[in-house]
C-alpha cells in the first residue's frame, strides 16, 4: 500500500505537470546517487541495480527495477516492470515514454542548482536518445515534496523555541564561568547536553566561535582546535536541530554576543550592517506578498547583498543569503542564492527558509544573524526570535 505522503506527492506533482504541460516525472537512482527518489517513495534498503519511478501526468505511476531487486518494492502498490538485461531496461523505458515529449528529471542545466543535479550526464543522454526532452524537476520537487503542513510547522516552532533558549543559556553559561575561561569546545558540549535534555536531534555542530574563529562561517570546535574565552571576546553561535530525526522539521539560528559591557565600535558597525541586510530581505518578502508578486531566490539574495555592500562590507559577505529548511537542515526547496548558485525557484506559500547574511573579516571576527521564515497563507513571517543587538555576556 502507498502511504499518504507519497499519495499526496503524486497528486500534487500531477497537478503541477498538468499546469506546466509536462508529460511526466522520471525519478532515477543507482546506489544512492539520487536521494530525492527515496525522499519521495520512502527509504528502501539494499537496492543493488538501477531503478526508476515514473509519475505520468495522468494515470498511475510505475516502477522499473531489476529482477534481482524485485522484492524490495513489494510494499509499493504500483505496477512494477522487471528487467534482466540493459537492453530490456531500455526497451521498458522506451515503451513507457513513447507518448511523452517533455519530462522532468533531477537535472540542472549547467549545474545552476547543485542540490537538484543528481542524475549523471550519461543517463540524461540515454533518456534523450529515446526521443524526449528533459527539463529540470526543481520546481516539481519543491511544489510536491517541500511544502509544510500544520504538523510540520508545529514541529519546527517547537524546535525553534528550544534553540533560542539554548543559545541564550549557552551565552549565560559563558558568563557564569568566565573566571575559569571556558574553551569553545566546552560550550559546544554544553549545547549538545542541552539538546539531549530537550530531546532535540542534530546530526552535527554546533558552531561556537570566538574572535577570529567567528570569521570562519562553519568553524566547529574540537578539543584540539578550541580556544579559551576571555572577557572582551566576540562570540558567534550557530545551532540547528529538529524534534525527530527524519520526521520533524528543522530550525536553524545564529546569534552573536560580546563578553563585556561596551561593544567595540567596529563590531557594532558590522552587526548593524548584517541585521540591516537581513531586515531588508524580510521586508521585501512581505511587500512582494502584499503586491501579489512572487520573488525568486536570487532576487532576495541580491536585496540583502546590495544593502551590505552599501555599508562597505560587500566583499566580506562570502556565502548565500539563506537556504531551504525541511526534514534536512539544508533541504530541497528554494535557496536564497544569487551568489554561489543562481536560484530561479520561487519563494512560495508553505515553504520555509533561513535568512542569514554574514560578514567575515579575516583574522578579526565575523557576524552572522540567522532567522527562519515560513510562508504562511497570509504571507511570510519570521518563526524564530529576531536578534536586534549583540547579546551582552556579563
Tens-digit pLDDT profile for residues 288-331: 999 999 999 999 999 999 999 999 999 999 999 999 999 999 99
For the chain, the domain total comes to 2
Based on the domain organization, do 235 and 332 belong to the same domain? yes
Based on the domain organization, do 312 and 176 belong to the same domain? yes
Q: What is the H or E stretch that residue 270 is in?
A: helix 265-290
Based on the domain organization, do 232 and 169 belong to the same domain? yes
Positive or negative, the Cα torsion across 358, 351, 202, 343?
negative
Residues 43, 70: Cα–Cα separation, whole Å: 15
Based on the domain organization, do 33 and 71 belong to the same domain? yes
Over residues 12-18, mean pLDDT? 98
Q: Cβ distance 260 to 231 under 8 Å?
A: yes
**Cβ within 8 Å of residue 251, ≥6 positions away:** 156, 157, 159, 160, 162, 163, 240, 241, 242, 325, 372, 383, 384
Bridge partners of 352, per DSSP, are: 325, 374
Give the rounded percent of residues in the chain with a pLDDT score beyond 70.
99
Tens-digit pLDDT profile for residues 332-383: 999 999 999 999 999 999 999 999 999 999 999 999 999 999 999 999 999 9
Tens-digit pLDDT profile for residues 138-194: 999 999 999 999 999 999 999 999 999 999 999 999 999 999 999 999 999 999 999
Based on the domain organization, do 242 and 210 belong to the same domain? yes
pLDDT for 23? 98
CATH code, domain with 109: 3.40.350.10
Question: CA-based angle 136:278:148, to the nearest 5?
Answer: 45
CATH code, domain with 201: 3.90.230.10
Secondary structure of residue 337 in the 3-state scheme: coil
Residues 84, 95: Cα–Cα separation, whole Å: 16
Written as one string, the DSSP assignment of 371-385 is: EEEEEETTEEEE-SP
Does 197 have pLDDT greater than 90? Answer: yes
Does 2 have pLDDT greater than 90? Answer: no
- Give φ, ψ of 27 to 5 degrees: -95, 135
Residue that terminates a domain, selected from 126, 145, 164: 145
Rg value, the chain, Cα: 23
Exposure b/e, 220-254, CB count within 10 A at least 16 = b: bbeeeebbebeeebbbbbbbbbbbeeeebbbbbbb
Looking only at the bridges linking them, the beta strands covering 51-56 and 62-66 are: antiparallel
Look up residue 7 and give its DSSP letter: H
> Containing domain of residue 61, as a range?
4-145
Based on the domain organization, do 73 and 54 belong to the same domain? yes
pLDDT for 1? 37
Tens-digit pLDDT profile for residues 24-38: 999 999 999 999 999
Based on the domain organization, do 131 and 277 belong to the same domain? no
Residues 57, 11: Cα–Cα separation, whole Å: 9
Tens-digit pLDDT profile for residues 240-254: 999 987 689 999 999
Over residues 202-224, mean pLDDT? 97
Based on the domain organization, do 9 and 27 belong to the same domain? yes
Based on the domain organization, do 249 and 272 belong to the same domain? yes
Amino acid at each position: 500500500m502507498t502511504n499518504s505522503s507519497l499519495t499526496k506527492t503524486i497528486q500534487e506533482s500531477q497537478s503541477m505537470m498538468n499546469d506546466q504541460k509536462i508529460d511526466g516525472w522520471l525519478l532515477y537512482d543507482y546506489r544512492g546517487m539520487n536521494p530525492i527518489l527515496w525522499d519521495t517513495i520512502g527509504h528502501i534498503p539494499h537496492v543493488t541495480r538501477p531503478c526508476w519511478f515514473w509519475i505520468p501526468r495522468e494515470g498511475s505511476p510505475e516502477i522499473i527495477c531489476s529482477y534481482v531487486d524485485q522484492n524490495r518494492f513489494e510494499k509499493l502498490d504500483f505496477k512494477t516492470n522487471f528487467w534482466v538485461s540493459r537492453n530490456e531496461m531500455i526497451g521498458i523505458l522506451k515503451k513507457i515514454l513513447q507518448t511523452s515529449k517533455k519530462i522532468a528529471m533531477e537535472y540542472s542545466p549547467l549545474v545552476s542548482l547543485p542540490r537538484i543535479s543528481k542524475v549523471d550526464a550519461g543517463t540524461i543522454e540515454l533518456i534523450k536518445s529515446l526521443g524526449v526532452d528533459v527539463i529540470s524537476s526543481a520546481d516539481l520537487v519543491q511544489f510536491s515534496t517541500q511544502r509544510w503542513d500544520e504538523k510540520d510547522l508545529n514541529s519546527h516552532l517547537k524546535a525553534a523555541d528550544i534553540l533560542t533558549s539554548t543559545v541564550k543559556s549557552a551565552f549565560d553559561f559563558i558568563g557564569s564561568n568566565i573566571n575559569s575561561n571556558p574553551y569553545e569546545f566546552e560550550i559546544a558540549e554544553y549545547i549538545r547536553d542541552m539538546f539531549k535534555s530537550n530531546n532535540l536531534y542534530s546530526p552535527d555542530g554546533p558552531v561556537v566561535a570566538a574572535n577570529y574563529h567567528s570569521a570562519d562561517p562553519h568553524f566547529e570546535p574540537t578539543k584540539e582546535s578550541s580556544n579559551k574565552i576571555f572577557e572582551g571576546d566576540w562570540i558567534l553561535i550557530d545551532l540547528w536541530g529538529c524534534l525527530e530525526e527524519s520526521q520533524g522539521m528543522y530550525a536553524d539560528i545564529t546569534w552573536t554576543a560580546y563578553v563585556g559591557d561596551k561593544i567595540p565600535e567596529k563590531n557594532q558597525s558590522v552587526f548593524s550592517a548584517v541585521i540591516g541586510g537581513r531586515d531588508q530581505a524580510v521586508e521585501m518578502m512581505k511587500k512582494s506578498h502584499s503586491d501579489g508578486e512572487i520573488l525568486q531566490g536570487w532576487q532576495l539574495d541580491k536585496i540583502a547583498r546590495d544593502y551590505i555592500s552599501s555599508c562597505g562590507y560587500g566583499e566580506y559577505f562570502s556565502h548565500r543569503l539563506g537556504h531551504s529548511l525541511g526534514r534536512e537542515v539544508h533541504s530541497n526547496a528554494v535557496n536564497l542564492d544569487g551568489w554561489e548558485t543562481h536560484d530561479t525557484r520561487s519563494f512560495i506559500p508553505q515553504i520555509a527558509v533561513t535568512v542569514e547574511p554574514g560578514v567575515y573579516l579575516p583574522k578579526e571576527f565575523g557576524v552572522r544573524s540567522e532567522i527562519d521564515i515560513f510562508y504562511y497563507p497570509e504571507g511570510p513571517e519570521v518563526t524564530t526570535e529576531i536578534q536586534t543587538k549583540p547579546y551582552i555576556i556579563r
